[in-house]
Amino acid sequence: MIDEDIAEATLKSAGSRADLLLAEVRIEERNLRDLSVKSSQVNNISTFQDAGMNVRIVLRSGVGFASSNVVSKAEGLRLVKHALKLAKTAARKNPVALSEEPAVKTTWEVRQKKPLVDVSTEEKLEYLNSLDSAVMKTKVKVQGRYYEVKDYELSGYFANSDGSRIRSFLPRIKIESFNLVSAKGQTAQSIRQWGASGGWERKDEWDLLDGLPQEMRMLKKQLEHGKMVKPGTYDLICGSEVAGIAAHESCGHPMEADRILGREMSQAGKSFVSPDMVGKQIGSRYATVMDDPTVPGTYGYYPYDEEGVKARPRYLYKEGRINEFLQNRETAARMGVQSNAASRSEFYLREPIVRMANTFVAPGDFEEDEIIGDVKNGVLMHSFTEWNIDDKRYNQKYVSREAYFIKDGELAGPAKKCTLEITTPGFWSAIDAVSKKVAFDSAECGKGDPMQSMAVCTGGPVLRLRSVVLK
Amino acid sequence: MSALKGTAQQVMEIALKAGADDAVAEAIETDIKQVRFSNSQIDAVNAWTERNVILFVAVGNRVMSSDLRELDKLGPLTEQVVSLAKRAPPSKTYGGIASGKFKYAKPKFDKRILSLDDPSEPVLEAIAGAEAEGAVNVGGTLFVRHISTGIASSGGALAFDENASLDLSVRAFSQPEASGHTLSCTSCLSALKPRETGQRAGQLASRAKNPVQGEQGKFDLVIEPMCLTELINTTSNMMSAMLVEIGSSMYAKKIGKPVASKHVTFVDDPTIESMSRQNFDHEGVPTRRNVVIKDGILKTYLHSTSTAKRFKTKTTANAGFPIPTPFAMPNQPMAFHPVVVPGGWKVDEMISDVKKGLYINNAWYTRYQNYSTGEFSTIPRDAILRIENGEIVGAAKNVRVSDNMLNLWKSIDALSKNTEEIYWWDEAAPPSTVPTVRIRQMSITRSS
């Protein structure tokens, strides 16, 4: 149980200096468990408890952040002194400003039907072994078989000098798989992840006992019957997984205000987007991309960000135009807007920075068979394996894990290694149809220095891109 | 500081008393200070302090690991881990921990690093250096790291190690799409060269001005140590026996076979002075210089005691953490300090022998279609310079290296005399000491 008095005493010790813009204290407790199985054998069982705190001091002259895995009033006092010293060290040329945000006093939690803490190691192992057995029963040759379940509960208490006091409880579960399928002297890999906020019950929604064997059979078919795509111009149907990664990489990331302002310039990079591009056309009218932390149960769910700002859906690209950047209080003040609650940190040891939550292409009004039915000569890229994008978020590449040719509106056999290498405006401008149903995938997003792995979702409906070059 | 060794020993003994057959306890103190800068000014100064004990226990072949972070409760937490191990399902592939009379090198580190009270000074020097060479926008980080570790195992390991290091990263822009990125990574305070590091980033950024759209096709590449270490990140990972076991390695079934050109010798050497010098692995086995690739031939995978038993060989002292970490699976053997043995070339000579090619300062976002075959792509991102008939004739942008990683290593035909220690943002990682290399006829692609 987090001792709120420690946070209050720590905050009080930050004082009320004339140059103090903000003082924040966060205390966290984490209970983590991890179990992995490799080729039907236990690889690892880990469990640990963790508690720690951080202090962030924002002066006009700079920002100082100090954190520790010791929680006490004395440690709080030490962290305040340290953070103050570090903030002064920064000596910014341009004074720091923060957007004015209302103080929040609240408690929030994500409920669990089957609490993660009550699930025994035996039950988890049985579940992972049942996945492995289901894969083995397919009779597909699967050389590599690795499965891992991670789950944790995160309790937090946040207090700032503006008067916010937020108590939170967030359980999360994640299952990862690595499989390597062989057929006809070739191999294909499948690296997958499923994640959610909530209890052990959430895994049932993923239906992996059916889904993983299907994936193995699919990869075998791709290897046995897949034909290479002849390089050329095609209509491309992107499944939700591909729509989601494009939303994340070529919309979510370039719309992060800290990146736009250059703060990530030597790590994750800058952005092709500049502050004056709000309203600029980036895609067709079908290209609407949202980032919404408030979708219940998602892996990237949170109702208040790490600066205590209430979360809301953000329309990043709206009907093909650049609409709204992801902001924290500092970037918002520099751009003359309010924060939209995009400040997150992986855990108490790391500074909060601008991050995505659940980034997805908004649904349209087409049926999926309608989208495919109108393609004469095309390819359906259902899912991807290799992908990357440059650090200005302009040139991206997606290579299919599962793809099919489309002839006269019908699927016409598996397509191997379908490769799309395209610019960001090229991708979003080519869309002429979007299906009604959005599906989410969970992912870990990397950003920050030290790298912070962040729980997010990517997602989307099925998209149709007209006349794009496939390699 | 032998207190850490004492803590590790105490935890290990509690574990044995509670019923563990094997136990390894690693007590770690981490103090890190970071200055972040962008747009040629300091953004934030961060510091973090961690004190923890990583514990591995086995009761028979029932294994359990934990990261003990409440140091005032080490006794009961340790007993709890052993109790959980007793009830854990058996792990038939568990091969035990190393045992023996281990001899360790004496920990050596530059204590002057700890007295660097104001790390903003070198940062301001680096910014000034880059600006003096034409940079208009400079960003990066300076880390001051101090890590102490005590380890004790029921197999006889008992040791203490301490290291301190500095790593400065400077990315300079002369234009919005013209950048250079340089590093100064060192375990010696006097070897930190902030002004020179900034100057070189500024020079590269100036040379990268007015980039033209890159061409597709086959090109010879001359890649700097930072770019090579970006590739070593995944390459060295695939040398881990555990990655080989699960089919996630292009090196599977290739011991004794050519996996690189004859010019390439690849070593993992945590014994040399470096950011990642360490005297023992995470089982407590004294580290050593392991030649992984000798003259292009794969000699060994990286092993812990457990993987070595499964592969019917001996540990290479590369045991990883028993708990999950951001870039490795639990219990995954890992490279600690990759070294590519230098060649005899000057960089100018390497360039002068290229008809049509690219000189690449840095790359990022290396991803694989298939780790078992090595098909991959990576994105050059700083100072991509066009080489024609042995001379640099301008800069390029928007290109991607899309090839096969085994083919890349087999296509190296020249290595520079000089090497550089590299570590950047978990992309160019783990800390490595490598030369500039020339790679013949790599496939370059770009957006259509």
Average pLDDT, stretch B45-53?
A: 93
Specify whether A336 is located in the same domain as A317: yes
Two structure tokens written together for A13: 């010790």
Predicted confidence band at A40 (pLDDT cuts at 50, 70, 90)?
A: confident
What per-residue confidence (pLDDT) applies to A90?
A: 81
The ipTM is 0.96
Chain B neighbors of A417, CB-CB under 8 A: 369
Chain B neighbors of A151, CB-CB under 8 A: none
Q: What percent of chain B has pLDDT over 70?
A: 100
Q: What percent of chain B has pLDDT over 90?
A: 95
What per-residue confidence (pLDDT) applies to B118?
A: 83
What per-residue confidence (pLDDT) applies to B136?
A: 98
The domain tally of chain A equals 2
Specify whether A152 is located in the same domain as A287: no
Q: Determine whether the interchain pair B329/A417 forms a contact, defined as Cβ–Cβ distance below 8 Å.
A: no
Q: DSSP letter string over B397-415?
A: ES-EEEEEHHHHHHTEEEE
Specify whether A248 is located in the same domain as A148: no
Question: Nearest 10 degrees: CA dihedral of A237, A246, A290, A206?
Answer: 80
Residue that finishes a domain, picked among A194, A225, A256: A225
What per-residue confidence (pLDDT) applies to A15?
A: 84
The domain defined by B2-204 carries CATH number 3.30.2290.10: yes
B2-17 and B74-87 helices, crossing angle to 10°? 40
Q: Determine whether the interchain pair B84/A121 forms a contact, defined as Cβ–Cβ distance below 8 Å.
A: yes
Nearest to A265 among B171, B323, B368 (CB): B171
Specify whether A295 is located in the same domain as A399: yes
A143 and chain B in contact, CB less than 8 A: yes
User: What is the tens place of the pLDDT at every residue in B189-246?
Assistant: 999 999 999 999 999 999 999 999 999 999 999 999 999 999 999 999 999 999 999 9
Interface test with B, best of A41, A89, A143, A184 (most B CBs within 10 A): A89
Specify whether A241 is located in the same domain as A215: no
Chain A neighbors of B381, CB-CB under 8 A: 269, 390-391
What per-residue confidence (pLDDT) applies to A416?
A: 96
Strand partners, B217: B444
Q: Calculate Rg over the CA atoms of chain B.
A: 23
B128 and chain A in contact, CB less than 8 A: no
Task: Give B 174-233 residues with CB within 8 A of chain A.
Answer: 176-177, 181
Domain that holds residue A388: 228-470
Choice among A401-415, B252-266, B319-333 with the minimum mean pLDDT: B319-333
User: What is the tens place of the pLDDT at every residue in B306-346?
Assistant: 999 999 999 999 999 999 888 899 999 999 999 999 999 99
Residue that finishes a domain, picked among A174, A206, A225: A225
Specify whether A218 is located in the same domain as A233: no
Specify whether A125 is located in the same domain as A155: yes
Q: DSSP letter string over A367-436?
A: -HHHHHHT-SEEEEEEEEEEEEE-TTS-EEEEEEEEEEEEETTEEEEEEES-EEEEEHHHHHHTEEEEBS
Contact B198, B125 (CB under 8 A): yes
Element (H, E) at B235: helix B225-237
The three-class DSSP label of residue B80 is helix
Q: Please, how many CA atoms are within 13 Å of residue A170, restricted to the half-sphere of its CB? A: 23
| Distance, CA of A98 to CA of A304 (rounded, Å) | 17
Chain B neighbors of A69, CB-CB under 8 A: 49-52, 69
B282 and chain A in contact, CB less than 8 A: no
From its phi and psi, is residue B205 left (phi > 0), alpha (psi between -120 and 50) or beta?
A: alpha
For residue A131, give the nearest of A61, A214, A233, A243 by alpha carbon: A214
Predicted confidence band at B1 (pLDDT cuts at 50, 70, 90)?
A: low
Q: Residue A363, preceding bond cis, omega within 30 degrees? A: no
Task: Give B 83-122 residues with CB within 8 A of chain A.
Answer: 84-85, 87-94, 118-120
Phi, psi for residue B280 in degrees, rounded to 5 = -150, 155
Contact A299, A456 (CB under 8 A): yes
The three-class DSSP label of residue A94 is coil
Specify whether A358 is located in the same domain as A247: yes
CATH of the domain at A33: 3.30.2290.10
Q: What are the extents of the domains in chain B? A: 2-204, 211-448
Specify whether A252 is located in the same domain as A311: yes
Specify whether A220 is located in the same domain as A232: no
Specify whether A234 is located in the same domain as A280: yes
User: What is the tens place of the pLDDT at every residue in B267-289?
Assistant: 999 999 999 999 999 999 999 99
Predicted confidence band at A23 (pLDDT cuts at 50, 70, 90)?
A: very high
Strand partners, B50: B30
Specify whether A239 is located in the same domain as A102: no
Nearest to B52 among A69, A351, A471 (CB): A69
- Chain B: residue nearest A123 by CA? B89
In this predicted structure, the answer to whether residue A39 has a pLDDT above a threshold of 90 is: no
Average pLDDT, stretch A387-411?
A: 98
Chain B neighbors of A87, CB-CB under 8 A: 45
Average pLDDT, stretch A450-459?
A: 96
pTM: 0.97
Q: Determine whether the interchain pair A449/B322 forms a contact, defined as Cβ–Cβ distance below 8 Å.
A: no
What is the DSSP secondary structure assignment for residue A164, as one 8-state letter? -
Residue that finishes a domain, picked among A184, A205, A225: A225
